[in-house]
Structure 1
């Protein structure tokens, strides 16, 4: 296993050239206006192709929560859901399209603060905390500092220009969720976050899988970003993974999934417990989104000659997503 290089502090560099690859650590600035040829784009083009999102997952034995703020350049949106694993049911949900330039403020990097405001609804999230208030749902959560390096992945995008993403390992979680009059404790659970920032194509699609404990976690993607962001966290180490295959029934995402990488370091079977889905058609834009929630079992390993580490019912999600944005 070759350790990943340290993350650059700025993307792109001062000369306008982005360093492509996977890195360990966090960048503190993304500024696509500085891109040099052949990736430079006009201000008007960037206005409609600049996409950013900040996503946080919270997992306990009882709950799985997914919360996201998304800025697609010409508008923004936010969603949140609470899935009660014991009942196999989404018990609370929030989804709201915002007003361009007014309701969402996305952080400039993974360590920053993102927020969404619409009427009485509000979401605030950072690398160490999340606060949400909307009708019938409240979340207050705090995360410990990561015990393993963040992943930074930077690469070119066909039909777009350059994309970058920061992913965390599993973070010790505390706090609470309130759904109506029902309160749930988050203490002892695991959080993780995904901060993504790039110039993407109008048509963008991907499959994604992510799950974390404090000792073991992974992030996998197949689609617009290739294998750039595929990674395994194992006992405090960050390990790059090869290309991922998602073997599943597109017409029945609640059927079992098989996810594996071509380097022989990860082979997992995913059993869905429930699902959040949302399809939108806004005429000039559309999205098809399905995110099953469930558990992964199988094995991972740090290198081809390392022993396999068993993975047993690790809570996480898969996703099948396509957007015209």
Structure 2
């Protein structure tokens, strides 16, 4: 489906009746409508106030690609703790440095309650991150030992995000909104050196809902200039597949929804030594190889919660066929993949 097929986003994801609206939407919903959700346990009894609070999860992420650097920024609220990171990857040097934050039980951070407006922020003596959402426009403010930035992420005219909601588990749901191939305006200073933004691209991710207590996913993302076109790609497997999926390809802002994909790779092969990922679809529209160059990783084992997180930076080769049947060849396109297990 291209962006010409219109399914307007609802004002509220959850209606006053308690009904959750599922499917793909054209544009962000203005409100999640959490106050309307009737959360029940597996025996169809109303969930406790504690379950209502602790079972809701949310995270926001922005990736930035310039000719010299890749920047990844995230804030996650898993109720027990809030965590965040900002990494800086030097493409030529193949080196990665990061700043991270960890806050207990909702203290010292906040999340945007709406996919289209609000503020998410976290800070400590190391620095701060802030995502400001204004009428669907994403703004990013960074202050870390390596990076100072005040940026706005701008889509092509009339470009639509991928916004969708699926049932999750027995009585939960997950809303996911992503948009890649976005231009940047503002200022970006890395290691006290101003960076030009005329060839920089970005993408964002807003995800929230009553997610599975134990979950895992594989993910791929590209923001790149390929054959004089700006492309964006989001592929995932393991989540958001109960009814529809989040796989989408943007070409100069035009959105093309894709079918399910498979990820083939080895978790036990060192990422630098011959670790090649294959990402493909059964219908032949996606056939990609990914060669990792570096990795941002974290393992947390905190009794109630566990996380095994690896986000790889590397290069994609292969092709994608869009909804119009046009084949787009990729050669050494810089992008990200992720392998993540969470118990939260």
**TM-score, structure 1 normalization:** 0.91
Find the partner of 2:325 among 279, 292, 306. 306
Secondary structure, in 3 states, of the residue corresponding to 2:16?
coil
Deviation at 1:81, TM superposition (A): 0.2
**Does 2:63 match 1:67?**
no
1:275–1:145 CA distance, 2 compared to 1 (3 A): same
The answer as to whether partners of 2:67 and 2:199 remain within 8 angstroms in 1 is no
Deviation at 1:33, TM superposition (A): 3.4
For residue 172 of structure 2, what is the aligned residue in structure 1? Answer: 161
Deviation at 1:45, TM superposition (A): 1.1
1:241-256 to 2 correspondences below 5 Å? 241-252=258-269, 253-254=271-272, 255-256=275-276
1:60–1:309 CA distance, 2 compared to 1 (3 A): same
Find the partner of 1:217 among 208, 218, 232. 232
Mapped to 1, the partners of 2:52 and 2:156 lie a distance apart of: 32
Deviation at 1:238, TM superposition (A): 1.8
Please give the root-mean-square deviation of Cα atoms over the aligned residues, in Å: 2.2
1:289–1:201 CA distance, 2 compared to 1 (3 A): same
Deviation at 1:314, TM superposition (A): 2.3
1:307–1:228 CA distance, 2 compared to 1 (3 A): closer
Mapped to 1, the partners of 2:309 and 2:250 lie a distance apart of: 26
Gaps of 5+ in 2: none
Mapped to 2, the partners of 1:19 and 1:128 lie a distance apart of: 24
The answer as to whether partners of 1:64 and 1:85 remain within 8 angstroms in 2 is yes
**Does 2:130 match 1:130?**
no
For residue 178 of structure 1, what is the aligned residue in structure 2? Answer: 190
For residue 24 of structure 1, what is the aligned residue in structure 2? Answer: 26
Deviation at 1:38, TM superposition (A): 6.8
The answer as to whether partners of 1:128 and 1:145 remain within 8 angstroms in 2 is no
Deviation at 1:265, TM superposition (A): 2.2
Mapped to 1, the partners of 2:223 and 2:6 lie a distance apart of: 20
Mapped to 2, the partners of 1:230 and 1:38 lie a distance apart of: 30
**Does 2:50 match 1:56?**
no
Moved more, 22-31 or 294-303: 294-303
Question: Could you list the per-position Cα deviations for residues 265-295 of structure 1 after superposition, in whole angstroms to 9, with x for gaps in the alignment?
Answer: 2221112121111111112211001111012
The answer as to whether partners of 2:31 and 2:114 remain within 8 angstroms in 1 is yes
The answer as to whether partners of 1:47 and 1:74 remain within 8 angstroms in 2 is no
Mapped to 1, the partners of 2:211 and 2:87 lie a distance apart of: 26
The answer as to whether partners of 2:230 and 2:253 remain within 8 angstroms in 1 is yes
Mapped to 1, the partners of 2:112 and 2:199 lie a distance apart of: 27
Deviation at 1:182, TM superposition (A): 5.3
**Does 2:258 match 1:261?**
no
1:184–1:165 CA distance, 2 compared to 1 (3 A): same
Secondary structure, in 3 states, of the residue corresponding to 1:322?
strand
Mapped to 2, the partners of 1:71 and 1:15 lie a distance apart of: 27
Gaps of 5+ in 1: none
Aligned length: 322
Mapped to 2, the partners of 1:234 and 1:43 lie a distance apart of: 45
**Does 2:88 match 1:82?**
yes
